[in-house]
Amino acid sequence: MSASGQLRPVPRRSTAELIADQLRSAIMYGSLSPGDQLGEADLAGRLGVSRGPLREAMQRLVQEGLLRSERHRGLFVRELASEDVRDIYIARLAVERTACEVIMRGNRGEAVARLTPALERLEEAARSGDRDLMSDADQAFHQTLVSCSGNSRLERMTQTLLVETRMCLTVMQDVYPEPDELLQEHRRILDAIADGAEDRLLELIEEHMTDTVERINAGRPGED
């Protein structure tokens, strides 16, 4: 219901939006790997769509930075260099710090209520030891965290940044945190929100991002 209390039509999602979601997911989970070329005819056939909305969807991903265009060659899934990894996490830090500041000045109780089941899902994934499940639950926690700010623009930025984050982690699964370590990091974040400890919360978010950059870059061939 709108703020005025009047019912309004629910906007329908376009075919291009739905295609873009599928492409993001394929990039996130490695079905489309960094460096892969996107063949328009092949993708249209696999998705069962016409080329018009497919082109629109791919251009959206170019604008989001997930695909790159090479003149006379076509579109490719972006490959992430060390500088890209650093930039992704600096951007995530900016977005999540802002979201946390908004949360701490707003309804912390609602945030705790939404983040608690997200932490429980992370705990279940950690018990399983499945890296993909852990990555999913990890990202769902951070997506929920930003969503708790109530700022739709921060949420949209987070969506793209989390796809890029997953691209980093897909390439560097060997340096992903141990289950207990990952769980404790996120439990401390939730506890800081529950306790109203804003300074501690912001420190934890910064440590989470900077530690991950160091972990990923340390695992890259040729990195010190």
Q: What pLDDT was estimated at residue 6?
A: 62
User: In this structure, is residue 9 part of a structural domain?
Assistant: no
Are residues 102 and 119 part of one domain? yes
> Does the pLDDT value for residue 222 go beyond 80?
no
Domains: count for the chain: 2
Helix 179-195 crosses helix 198-218 at what angle (to 10 degrees)? 160
Q: What pLDDT was estimated at residue 175?
A: 64
Pick the last residue of a domain from 57, 77, 97.
Answer: 77
Are residues 170 and 64 part of one domain? no
Cα distance between residue 70 and residue 72, in whole Å: 6
User: In this structure, is residue 2 part of a structural domain?
Assistant: no
Query: Terminus-to-terminus CA distance in the chain, angstroms?
Result: 54
Structural contact between residues 100 and 204, judged by C-beta atoms closer than 8 angstroms: no
Are residues 145 and 90 part of one domain? yes
Mean pLDDT of 120-143: 91
Cα distance between residue 218 and residue 220, in whole Å: 6
User: In this structure, is residue 29 part of a structural domain?
Assistant: yes
Are residues 94 and 50 part of one domain? no
Percent of the chain beyond pLDDT 70? Answer: 87
Are residues 98 and 64 part of one domain? no
Give the range of the structural domain holding residue 41, as residue numbers without chain letter.
15-77
pLDDT digits (tens, 9 = 90+) for 65-109: 889 999 889 999 998 887 888 899 999 999 999 999 999 999 999
Task: Determine the Cα angle at 110 with ends 164 and 129, to 5°.
Answer: 45
What pTM, to 2 d.p., does this model score? 0.76
